[in-house]
Amino acid sequence: MSTLVRTETLVEMIERTLGRQGNKIALKIPKHDGSGYDQISFADLKKRSDQFAATLKKRGLQKGEKFVIIGKPRTDWAVAFLGVLKAGGVALPIDASWQAPEVQRVLRDMDAIGAVVADAPHYEMIKDQRQLQHIVTMDRLPGVPTVSDWLSSERFEGLPTDPDEVAVMLCTSGTTGNSKGVMLSHTNIVSNAQSALSRIDFTDQDIVLAIPPWYHVFGLIVLVCSLSAGAQLIYTDDYKNLPKYMVENRVSILVGVPKLFHAMYEKLEGTIQENRLARFLWRYAPTLLGTKIKKRLVGGNQLKYFLSGGAPLDTKVMRGLRRLGIGMIEGYGLTETSPALTFSTPFNDKIGSVGPAIPGVEIRIDDPNEEGIGEIVVRGPNVMKGYYKNPEATRKILDPDGWLHTGDLGYLDEDGWLYIKGRKKNVIVLEGGKNVYPEEIEFELKQIPLIEEIMIKGGKRKGLEVIKAFVYPKPELLQKHSPDELKKMIWEAIKEKSKDFAQYKRVHSQQDLIILDKPFEKSSKLDIKRYLYDEA
């Protein structure tokens, strides 16, 4: 098996660039008050992360101890992330939208000993957690040290680190007691970044604007690749002002989830239809029209391509953008694979494919049917070390030969390009790229006294993927109340219980609650036959 892995750590890979790029701006995040950018140069990122690491060492951080980082991306987030790694710790980024019970369970399950939090609400979530020996904030709060307060003036001496040691842990689940902490080593992430950079055009001349946050594995690898390549990275979740940021910074690469590109293309379609000249160009000279659109989008001719990941992209969007001469790359990966497994190319005829395996990664299809569709199984240096303190879950997904069973279904064409055809697992992937684990929500909602059985499943409403709840109420309630009364009662109970969930994990409409009048049909193993309950 060919591989691009070198024996180096994530810190060593990034440090080479930090030292070489000097005062060039590495990271820019628009401020919420509209007063410009929170930004940091490569040189300052190196200096401040060294200083933060020195303080961590002085305060007794031991090799392999876990420090959580909770908050949306900002420069202090990056300083803390690199500082923890430099001090020999393990960085554990947590979704900034998780609620207190979710965060607290992860802190306990993952044995975190320290935390860097963004602001007062996040601080309130964790301030009483006794196992936390260190709490640092990004915003200034009374009596709590900030990241800036922890920038030591003492000389930092780096620690020797084995590339096979865990660098980052990412949690696939927050709500239940069965959180899975994905252990990613330095080698896992370094190999993935090197393979990705060898496949896609991503250099120190690029200005990259990215939507995925750094606590999501997609956003994290974009951060790592940007720092490693010496590209400038701009992060924002401000969709409304996205056009302003793209023009203002003369962006050359836009990284996002399908939700972003679907919205952009829909708006583009509407604009073209409203303009007679644009309609003419779309029909007879689409690339000329595309040139005009690109100039308007980014203020020049420098746009290289859009990069989409995190969820499936609509083939209509892919075809339309490429017809305009706008390159569109789609990737596929998992948290457990650091994450990238494949990338397509900006312009290709294989619409609907996520591309061939990146260098160093092997892909095979297990138990293919007559159409060649089977489970996607992968192997490579980017495959996780396992789930933290969960050997049983690790054995279920990772076999002794290093093959990881993705739970996704697909096929490979004659050129080795992968096509995703569905999910063997029950995970729901929302349009924004968020993964929702049905068992996690079922575990919590099952505690509602009105509910006898519940199944959470993805479904469509107005063309978008949503979370649906199929509920069989307590049998005695079916005798006492009408279906409409029951639905209203259970809906109110679900809304109340869901206040402890992140927004994206909630059932958002009463339309997505389906009340059943008899128990779920089950297999001999007493598993619900989920396929029988596709839509209401």
Using alpha carbons, list the distances in angstroms from residue 121 to 59, 71, 117, 127, 467.
25, 10, 9, 10, 27
Domain ranges within the chain, ordered by starting residue? 437-532
Give 375-417 pLDDT, tens digit per residue: 999 999 999 999 999 999 999 999 999 999 998 889 999 999 9
Q: What is the pTM of this model?
A: 0.86
Banded pLDDT at 508 (limits 50, 70, 90):
very high
Answer CATH for 437-532 from 3.30.300.30, 1.20.1560.10, 3.20.20.100, 3.40.50.2300: 3.30.300.30
**How much is the pLDDT for 437?**
78
Is residue 535's pLDDT more than 80?
no
Report the range of poorest mean pLDDT among 43-52, 310-319, 340-349, 486-495. 310-319
**What is the residue-wise DSSP string for 94-147?**
E-TT--HHHHHHHHHHTTEEEEEESSHHHHHHHTT-TT-SEEEESS-BTTB-BT
Other CB atoms within 10 A of residue 235 CB: 28
**How much is the pLDDT for 369?**
85
Is residue 2's pLDDT more than 60?
no
Pick from 133, 161, 164, 114: which is nearest to 12 by CA?
161
Cis, bond preceding 73 (omega within 30 deg of 0): no
Pick from 36, 60, 40: which is nearest to 48 by CA?
40
Is residue 176's pLDDT more than 50?
no
User: What are the backbone angles phi and psi of residue 212, rounded to the nearest 5°?
Assistant: -65, 130
Banded pLDDT at 5 (limits 50, 70, 90):
very low
- The arithmetic mean of pLDDT across residues 184-211, rounded, is 97
Q: Is the pLDDT higher at 424 or at 146?
A: 146
- The arithmetic mean of pLDDT across residues 67-74, rounded, is 98
CA angle 376, 380, 385 (to 5 degrees): 100
**How much is the pLDDT for 1?**
40
What's the whole-number average pLDDT of the chain?
Answer: 92
Banded pLDDT at 174 (limits 50, 70, 90):
very low
pLDDT above 90 coverage of the chain, percent: 79
**How much is the pLDDT for 159?**
80
Give 223-233 pLDDT, tens digit per residue: 999 999 999 99
**How much is the pLDDT for 461?**
83
Q: State the number of CA atoms in the 13 A half-sphere of 22 facing the CB.
A: 1
Give 252-263 pLDDT, tens digit per residue: 999 999 889 999
Banded pLDDT at 525 (limits 50, 70, 90):
very low
- The arithmetic mean of pLDDT across residues 455-477, rounded, is 90
Pick from 485, 474, 473: which is nearest to 516 by CA?
473
Token pair in block for residue 338: 């650091």
Summarize the chain as % helix, strand, coil (round to 5): 35, 25, 40
Is residue 372's pLDDT more than 60?
yes
| Residues counted in the chain | 536
**How much is the pLDDT for 480?**
92
- The arithmetic mean of pLDDT across residues 439-458, rounded, is 89
Residue 286: partners with Cβ closer than 8 Å, 6 or more residues away: 323, 324, 325
Banded pLDDT at 536 (limits 50, 70, 90):
very low
**How much is the pLDDT for 523?**
56
Give 269-327 pLDDT, tens digit per residue: 999 999 999 999 999 999 999 999 999 999 999 999 999 998 888 889 999 999 999 99
How far is Cα 80 from Cα 472, in angstroms, rounded to an integer? 47
Is residue 133's pLDDT more than 90?
yes
- The arithmetic mean of pLDDT across residues 486-506, rounded, is 93
How far is Cα 52 from Cα 96, in angstroms, rounded to an integer? 22
How far is Cα 451 from Cα 357, in angstroms, rounded to an integer? 45
Banded pLDDT at 32 (limits 50, 70, 90):
confident
User: What are the backbone angles phi and psi of residue 197, rounded to the nearest 5°?
Assistant: -70, -25
**What is the residue-wise DSSP string for 278-305?**
HHHHHHH-HHHHHHHHHHHHHSSS---E
